Amino acid sequence: MSFRIGQGWDNHRIVTGRPLILGGITIPSDFGLDGHSDADVASHAITDAIIGAIAAGDIGMHFPDTDPRWKGAGSLQFLKHAVQLAAEAGYTIGNVDSTIILERPKLKDFRLAIRESLAATMDIAVEQVSVKFKTAEKVGPVGEGRSAESQAVVLLVKA
């Protein structure tokens, strides 16, 4: 097969006293995201999209949140590992498109930094990585400021 497509989704609860890390970038914020790892919801969605594209299970299978090795782990290492799995399966990353859904703070000034961080981790060009931002229009858990969500699709190309 020349191409494989993958989709990923993730959600983390908003809490105080933790940093807000998106795509490996720490965003100035008075709250963060809860989780066993650094709770980088954007990296998790992209990681799952890559793992899904090669039908290799899901992020929790490769990095169980019961494993003390991953407590507080930087999620870019999960992403790097997924790219390695794809390479072992004979695929390179064609492009990644993603959306982070968070009511506040405004993220658009961090777009390039997040794209550069993700691209460097995946060892691809920044032009191959898209990151979009949306509010949830004050509706539902994301809109009420209780959680953050992220979605991603990835296209893998046969190496």
| Gap between the Cα atoms of 19 and 33, Å rounded | 7
Assess 146 for contact with ligand C5P (CB under 6 A).
no
- Quick check: 99 and 151 in contact, CB under 8 A? yes
Instruction: Select from 66, 108, 127, 159 the one that contacts ligand C5P (CB under 6 A).
Output: 108
Q: In angstroms, what CA-CA distances link 84 with 10, 12, 23, 57?
A: 21, 25, 18, 15
Assess 134 for contact with ligand C5P (CB under 6 A).
yes
Assess 10 for contact with Mg ion (CB under 5 A).
yes
Of 1 and 61, which has the nearer Cβ to Mg ion? 61
Instruction: Select from 3, 5, 90, 106 the one that contacts ligand C5P (CB under 6 A).
Output: 106
Site for Mg ion in 40-59 (CB under 5 A): 44
Q: List 89's β-bridge partners, or say none.
A: none
| Gap between the Cα atoms of 59 and 51, Å rounded | 7
Instruction: Select from 86, 107, 114, 118 the one that contacts ligand C5P (CB under 6 A).
Output: 107
Of 42 and 107, which has the nearer Cβ to ligand C5P? 107
Assess 31 for contact with ligand C5P (CB under 6 A).
no
| Gap between the Cα atoms of 11 and 31, Å rounded | 15
Assess 102 for contact with ligand C5P (CB under 6 A).
yes
- The residue among 31, 133, 22 whose CA lies nearest residue 75 is 22
Residues within the interface to ligand C5P (CB under 6 A): 102, 104, 106-108, 133-135
